[in-house]
Structure 1
Amino acid sequence: MEFSAICFPPYGQSPLQTSLRELTTLGMKNAENLAIPSVRNDAAFLFTVVGTTGFLGVLAGQLPGDWGFFVPYLIGSISLVVLAVGSTSPGLLQAAIGGFSSFFPDYQERITSHEAAHFLVAYLIGLPILGYSLDIGKEHVNLIDERLEKLIYSGQLDTKELDRLAVVAMAGLAAEGLKYDKVVGQSADLFTLQRFINRSKPQLSKEQQQNLTRWAVLFAGSLLKNNKVIHDALISAMSKKATVLECIEAIEKAS
């Protein structure tokens, strides 16, 4: 399979001036909301905690004597503890939300499709892949490129390399946007992209950052749409916990 035809335009040229209409035409559902962090999992978790503790508190209020006072009080404090943990140790709360989110029927499917998109797009544009994980709360695809790593840490990413990394970063978001009405895994992708932008020179204006984000979603989405069979094969391989080498073999066989 030949990938040399995948070219990136210099930053500032017309391909980066991407409109929402272009994203919609590609097949992105609710393109205007792609970059808005989803609160579906957070809201569902907090609603469940508050609703459950409230219901149990009402039942406990029927207990005789002092038990009818102290038990509802203790149950009601659970919601306050959850909020306190979220404000002091947000990582712990996110881990709990991640575990709770696994009860959504589409959650594992979303994770696999999302990470497979990062993996496939990185492979297509020639970035080497070190590993990946689909574990809840630890979902990621690790790339390995010493030259890029040095540029990132030194804050010297040029526009060409920023374009490549932006496309990989937005691949998971693009995969969800092509398949689902609402994207729920974009927060980490947007954070990663912002990290790359902050490490680039020259610095981009807010308008340029928005254009770059939209263009990267469009480019990644185009690659995924044009290689849907390969993406599906990779999803199947990753869902079976295939090694990186086995994933690459699945890509090459499907091509």
Structure 2
Amino acid sequence: MFHVVRSVSIKSVKFWEKASQTLATSTNLCIHTSLRELTTLGIKNAENLAIPSVRNDAVFLFTVVGTTGFLGVLAGQLPGDWGFFVPYLIGSISLVVLAVGSISPGLLQAAIGGFSSFFPDYQERIASHEAAHFLVAYLLGLPILGYSLDIGKEHVNLIDEKLEKLIYSGQLDAKELDRLAVVAMAGLAAEGLKYDKVVGQSADLFTLQRLINRSKPQISKEQQQNLTRWAVLFAGSLLKNNKVLHEALISAMSKKATVMECIEAIEKTE
């Protein structure tokens, strides 16, 4: 549920009013946004931004299969019937994992999410990704209710009574769609500016598609693709131009600061 929060301070307006004005003058689905523009901005491998990463999935499955295979070989050295039955039992673990993935993908994704935390860059990616959503939403005047960097629960909650009604009634207009699209693509843009491969784009792209489906008038597939690229470009530009603010927010969120403390961290950084 969305709720109306406090109005922003005068200092807050100084930050987000300029960004909102730039957004208003930049919005135009008729203007084509090219991959070259994304690359020029500093987005790495711009052509692969929309391709879901399988890095975490592949490493998880390889680890499961490799580990069970290795243990199965060792178990084969057990004496008597143990050396026959135990390897089969261990080997069946891989089949169980695949079965769970087919029947309940959510459970498998939760396991993969937990496993992903062992990657050295995982927590850093999450903090940068969610801080980007937070900062861009703030700069564009969207109030923030809360956030989480917990594994499997990474999110930033936005609250706006007017937008809530427009989204649920399927009446989201082009202006608000553009603003929300930029916020939705902010995490992807942050990863693209820093890493060679983006791994957290699936949920963001799903959110953007949901917003597009709730907009009126409906836009064509070509316009949807252009909106996505334009939103990444605009979000990336905001993040590059406000890099110090982004870094300050990453630090605050990593320390589990409250929303108010995060906003203060932004406002105290110039």
C-alpha deviations, 1:162-185, integer Å up to 9, x for none?
Answer: 000000000000000000000000
RMSD between aligned alpha carbons? 2.1
Go from structure 1 to structure 2 and tell me whether the alpha carbon gap of 1:6 and 1:226 turns closer, same or farther (over 3 Å shift): farther
**1:196 to 1:41, Cα distance in 2 relative to 1, 3 A:** same
Residues 29 and 226, structure 2, Cα contact 8 Å, conserved in 1: no
Report the CA distance shift for 1:5/1:152 in structure 2 as closer, same or farther (over 3 A).
closer
Write out aligned runs for 1:14-163 (5 A): 16-163=31-178
SS at match of 1:62: coil
The alignment partner of 2:172 has SS state of: coil
What SS does the corresponding residue of 2:156 show, helix, strand or coil? strand
Larger deviation, residues 155-164 vs 131-140: 155-164
Between the aligned partners of 2:107 and 2:182, the Cα distance in structure 1 is 30
5+ long unaligned stretches in structure 2: 1-26
Matches within 5 A, 1:210-249: 210-249=225-264
Farther off after superposition, 67-76 or 104-113: 67-76
CA distance in 2, matches of 1:82, 1:151: 41
Question: SS of the counterpart of 2:171?
Answer: coil
Per-residue deviation, 1:17: 1.2
3-state SS of paired residue (1:188): helix
User: TM-score, length-normalised on structure 2?
Assistant: 0.88
Contact 1:157 1:201 in 2 (8 A): yes
SS in 1 for 2:268: helix
Conserved? CA contact 1:6–1:125, under 8 Å:
no
Deviations 1:149-198 (A, max 9, x none): 11111111111110000000000000000000000000110011011011
- Which range moved further: 54-63 or 171-180? 54-63
Q: Which moved more, 1:151-160 or 1:20-29?
A: 151-160
Q: Is the 8 A contact 2:76 2:87 kept in 1?
A: yes
Write the distance in 1 (CA, Å) between the matches of 2:219 and 2:28. Answer: 27
TM-score, length of structure 1 as denominator length:
0.93
Query: Do the aligned partners of residues 241 and 152 (structure 1) sit closer, same or farther apart at CA in structure 2, a change above 3 Å counting?
Result: same
- Asked whether the 8 Å contact 1:115–1:134 carries over to 2, the reply is yes
Q: Count residues with an aligned counterpart.
A: 244
User: After alignment, is 18-27 or 88-97 more displaced?
Assistant: 88-97
Q: CA deviation at 1:6?
A: 17
Gaps of 5+ in 1: 8-15
Distance 1:72 1:207 in 2: 53
Shift of 1:73: 0.5
Q: Mean Cα displacement is larger for which, 61-70 or 127-136?
A: 61-70
In structure 2, the partner of 1:167 is 182
- CA 1:94–1:35 in structure 2 vs 1: closer, same or farther (change >3 Å)? same
Q: Distance in 2 between matches of 1:61 and 1:151?
A: 62
Q: How much has 1:50 moved relative to structure 2? A: 0.5
Q: Describe the SS at the equivalent of 1:241.
A: coil
Q: Is the 8 A contact 2:29 2:223 kept in 1?
A: no
Q: Please say if residues 129 and 143 of structure 1, whose CA atoms lie closer than 8 Å, have aligned partners that are also in contact.
A: yes
Give deviations 1:15-56, integer Å, cap 9, x for gaps: x41000000000001110111110110111011000100111
How far did residue 239 of structure 1 move?
0.5
In 2, the alpha carbon distance for the partners of 1:154 and 1:207 equals: 24
How far off its partner does 1:5 sit? 16
The C-alpha deviation readout for 1:187-223, integer Å capped at 9, x for no partner, is 1100110110111111111111100000000000000
Contact 1:117 1:171 in 2 (8 A): yes
